[in-house]
Amino acid sequence: MNEKDKDFIENFKNYLSVEKNFSFHTLTAYCSDVISYLLWLNDEDCTKVDFNKLREYLYFIQRFEYKKTTIARKIASIRTFYKYLFREKYIENNPSISLSAPKRPKSLPKFLTSDEVEQILDNIKINTPSGFRNRTVIELLWATGMRVSELSNLNFGDLNLEENEIRVFGKGAKERIVLVSDRAKKYLIQYINTARKLVVAPEYSLAEPSDDSPVFINNTGYRLQNQTIRTVINEVVSRIELPKKVTPHVFRHSFATKLIEKGADLRVVQELLGHAGISNTQIYTHISMKHMQDVYNSAHPHS
Catalytic annotation, residues: 147, 171, 249, 252, 275, 284
**Could you write out the DSSP letters of every residue in the chain?**
--HHHHHHHHHHHHIIIIIS---HHHHHHHHHHHHHHHHHHTTS-TTS--HHHHHHHHHHHHTTT--HHHHHHHHHHHHHHHHHHHHTTS-SS-TTTT--PPPPPP-PPP---HHHHHHHHHTS--SSHHHHHHHHHHHHHHHH---HHHHHT-BGGGEEGGGTEEEEE-GGG-EEEEE--HHHHHHHHHIIIIIHHHHS-TTS--PPP-TTSBSSB-TTSSBPPHHHHHHHHHHHHHHTT-SS---HHHHHHHHHHHHHHTT--HHHHHHHHT-SSHHHHHHHHHHHHHHHHHHHHHH-TT-
